[in-house]
Amino acid sequence: MTGMGGGVILIPALTLLGMDIKHAIALSILSIIATSSGSASAYVRDHITNLKVGMFLEMFTIVGALAGARITLTSSPRPLFIAFGVVLLGSWAALLLLGHQSWESAASQDSFSRWLELEGSYSDKALGKTIEYRGRRAYLGAPLMFGAGVIAGLLGIGAGALKVIIHDLVMGLPPKVSTTTSNLIIGVTALAGTSVYLASGLINPGLAGPVFLGVAVGALLGTRLLVRMTNQSVRRFFLFVLIVLAVEMIVRGIRGV
């Protein structure tokens, strides 16, 4: 959908239907492989995704995801509910504060980012021109992406919102590049997390099939619906959903489900 809204909505929904939160997390992270790969496919074809930025940052997110998933396996459900709610609150705040600032190419690039060749260009169809950009502060982006990976593995979400913020604010990538590259990274990160959950027997194929299919159909319908809505109404809708789910998850965590 919009780089957010997959797992973030799926997990509260599954737990409300009575599923144990760890099983919900495992199913969610499996479905995320599908949604992120599906949309990444289109963006890679249009040459917007930056493969180098993706590969470099994936080194950090996958290790984070493995660690995060391990933590979930040993954790009790209540802290997971609370952590989930807190991450939702964070996404809510990010959406509220960010939103519509304009992007400008970084004037200077640090030597580490230059060594990593973190630059590129893409043709922006909306603006009708080619945008050149240079990524910077990779030394800061990398450890932050490890953190995003931990959250992704821990809670079974793509943590797309978080990744986009790191790309945008820390590394100075243009919004389209950051969204599409984060999509590429999410697929691999989700795979690392899924492996841990599969090995621990938390993935129930009987439930995975219907959920996976439902998510795919939902993502398709969601995209159709989103293009008809204005950016403002999409944003307001997500702001509302995120705050409601955040409060709900935290309350359930505190009250013991």
- By CB under 8 A, tell whether 37 contacts other proteins: yes
Task: Please identify, using beta-carbon distances, which residue of 45 and 100 lies nearer to other proteins.
Answer: 45
- By CB under 8 A, tell whether 75 contacts other proteins: no
- By CB under 8 A, tell whether 59 contacts other proteins: yes
Report the length, in residues, of the chain: 257
Task: Please identify, using beta-carbon distances, which residue of 44 and 82 lies nearer to other proteins.
Answer: 44
Distance CA 179, CA 104 (A): 16
Distance CA 67, CA 45 (A): 32
In degrees, rounded to 5, the angle at the alpha carbon of residue 43 between the alpha carbons of residues 241 and 37 is 70
Using the rule CB under 8 A, give the single segment among 78-86, 92-100, 108-116, 169-177 that binds other proteins. 108-116
- By CB under 8 A, tell whether 103 contacts other proteins: no
Using the rule CB under 8 A, give the single segment among 77-85, 91-99, 209-217, 238-246 that binds other proteins. 209-217
What tokens appear for 57 in the block?
């940052």
Contact 130, 121 (CB under 8 A): yes
- By CB under 8 A, tell whether 67 contacts other proteins: no
User: Least distance from C-beta 246 to other proteins, angstroms?
Assistant: 29
Query: What is the dihedral angle through the alpha carbons of 237, 79, 253, 18, rounded to the nearest 10 degrees?
Result: 80
What tokens appear for 103 in the block?
């992007």
- By CB under 8 A, tell whether 190 contacts other proteins: yes
Query: Maximum Cα–Cα distance for the chain, whole Å?
Result: 54
Instruction: Count other Cβ atoms within 10 Å, centred on residue 198.
Output: 14
Applying CB under 8 A, the residues found at the interface with other proteins are: 30, 33-34, 37-38, 40-42, 44-45, 47, 49, 51-52, 55-56, 58-59, 62-63, 66, 105, 107, 109, 114-117, 119, 121, 132, 134, 187-188, 190-192, 194-196, 198-201, 203-210, 212-213, 216
